[in-house]
A = this chain, B = another copy of it.
Amino acid sequence: MMKLLSHPFSPYGRKVKIAIAVKGLKDRIEVVAVDTNIPDNPEITRSNPLAKIPALVVEDSTAISDSHVICEYLDSLAPTPVLFPKSGVERIKTLTLGSLCDGILDAALLLVYEKRYRPEEKWHAPWQARQQSKIDRCIEHLEKAPPAWGPSPDYGHLTLACALGYLDFRHEGKWRAGHPKLVAWLDGFARAVPAFEETRPKQ
């Protein structure tokens, strides 16, 4: 039995949980909630010295990370649906979309960490604006042409859905205003992938 170290609030963990569901691997992986707010939490660091989740422990303490790598590994365990096109332009498009949406998440997380890990007198508005502008530009870019999928959503779409889901969860869904195509896109994703709703974080 493999173990996924994650947390219900982690958007990167949510990606992996959705991948587990759509690939039909739920009975092979136990999901374990770990707390990344405990400094140097040994529950995580013995598997991932970065102390980051998600990490997939496959045997003993050998772990696979990050979420992108875990999803690629899961994709190799069952033939369908295909999360990573095997080669060519399609593969690079999927990977670039995944990377772009991980970048949205990285910026959104840094905005959360600013308030979680610093007293208010050490918040720095220009840094916050720098991160927010990355998110805003990506949303504008994606609104122009939300990425369509073929037979089923792939890893890139899954990452976009989790990024928008995190902006809903931690940033009050402010991205929605003025971006009707992307809102409709996320509704379509939720209809196509029931695991999206099943993994929605709840405060």
A interface residue numbers (CB < 8 A to B)? 39-40, 45, 48-52, 63-66, 68-69, 72-73, 76, 87, 92, 95-96, 99-100, 103-104, 107, 113, 117-119, 121-124, 126-127, 130, 133-134, 137-138, 140-141
A122–B49 CA distance with the chains assembled, in angstroms = 27
Pairs A–B under 8 Å by Cβ, sample size 18:
A39-B130, A39-B133, A40-B137, A49-B100, A49-B141, A50-B103, A65-B99, A65-B100, A68-B95, A69-B92, A69-B95, A72-B92, A73-B92, A117-B124, A117-B126, A117-B130, A122-B123, A122-B124
Query: Which of chain B's residues have a CB closer than 8 A to the CB of A66?
Result: 99, 103
A126–B116 CA distance with the chains assembled, in angstroms = 12
Within the complex, the shortest CB–CB distance from A69 to chain B, in Å, comes to 4
Query: Which of chain B's residues have a CB closer than 8 A to the CB of A45?
Result: 137
Nearest B-chain residue to A98, judged by Cβ? B69
**A138 in contact with B64 (CB, 8 Å):** no
A37–B155 CA distance with the chains assembled, in angstroms = 31
Within the complex, the shortest CB–CB distance from A62 to chain B, in Å, comes to 9
**A134 in contact with B103 (CB, 8 Å):** no
A73–B76 CA distance with the chains assembled, in angstroms = 20
Nearest B-chain residue to A99, judged by Cβ? B66
Within the complex, the shortest CB–CB distance from A100 to chain B, in Å, comes to 6
**B137 in contact with A127 (CB, 8 Å):** no
Top 9 closest pairs, chain A to chain B, by CB? A49-B137, A50-B103, A49-B141, A69-B95, A66-B99, A49-B138, A122-B122, A122-B124, A118-B124
A134–B87 CA distance with the chains assembled, in angstroms = 34
